[in-house]
Amino acid sequence: AQSVSQHNHHVILSEAASLELGCNYSYGGTVNLFWYVQYPGQHLQLLLKYFSGDPLVKGIKGFEAEFIKSKFSFNLRKPSVQWSDTAEYFCAVNRNSGNTPLVFGKGTRLSVIA
Amino acid sequence: DGGITQSPKYLFRKEGQNVTLSCEQNLNHDAMYWYRQDPGQGLRLIYYSQIVNDFQKGDIAEGYSVSREKKESFPLTVTSAQKNPTAFYLCASRPQGRENSPLHFGNGTRLTVT
């Protein structure tokens, strides 16, 4: 079965620090990769996705992620975080065939302090 | 505006009672999903349906049941057999056969069983 690992449970950063959240998945075939964000009290929103083409994808609010196939990784990055980035971040993966559902990681809680 | 409506937002039940969570979408999506979110566990798939009158078990289907009599509706029943039903439940949808499409999420229902 597919699985998704997010390495950090809780990350605390100061404003303007750089962010990298790790995500690794277990499936070896062609996959679709997603990062979702959940701000406090709000519903899940899509940050960015990758399914083909340039492995460096840019999303909303200055986030980007790089797909490294050899490492089965899809790490999320942002050069300079803001207090408003405080949220929970979820990596999700599914196979690119067979109408497979998304499998989510356990999430990483990001706290940005002034 | 198109979207997914989950109701109610908060639900309280006594142990031993079945309870049904509503999920309605007007996005004309064929595929619908139920996830359960617990702190530190991410989102775990309960059931999903790719077409009317058909559904499949997810990773944690025990103690839950669903129906898909209409395209727009995918209610989830939490039965008394579910050993730990207190959680945040999320309904999602996406177009059928579009594995690289992101999921659209509802705002969730927080169920508390005492």
DSSP states along B91-112: EEEE-TT-TTSPPEE---EEEE
Nearest by CB to B96, from A1, A92, A99: name it.
A99
Q: Residue B75 CA to chain centroid, in angstroms?
A: 7
The reply to whether A68 touches chain B by the CB within 8 Å rule is: no
- Contact by Cβ (8 Å): A47, A59: yes
| Contact across the interface for B106 and A97, Cβ inside 8 Å | no
**pLDDT above 90 for A64:** yes
For residue A96, count other CB atoms closer than 10 A to its CB.
14
Least confident of A72-81, B29-38, B92-101: B92-101
pLDDT value at residue A109? 96
- Cβ-contact B48, B112 below 8 angstroms: no
φ/ψ of residue A8, rounded to 5: -110, 130
A3 in B contact zone (CB under 8 Å): no
Band of residue B48 on the pLDDT scale cut at 50, 70, 90: very high
Provide the pLDDT for residue B101.
82
Look at residue A28 in the predicted model and tell me its pLDDT.
77
Instruction: Kindly state the tokens that stand for A84.
Output: 């408003």
Q: Residue B2: is its pLDDT beyond 80?
A: no
Q: A36: pLDDT confidence band, cut at 50, 70 and 90?
A: very high
Res A65 pLDDT > 70: yes
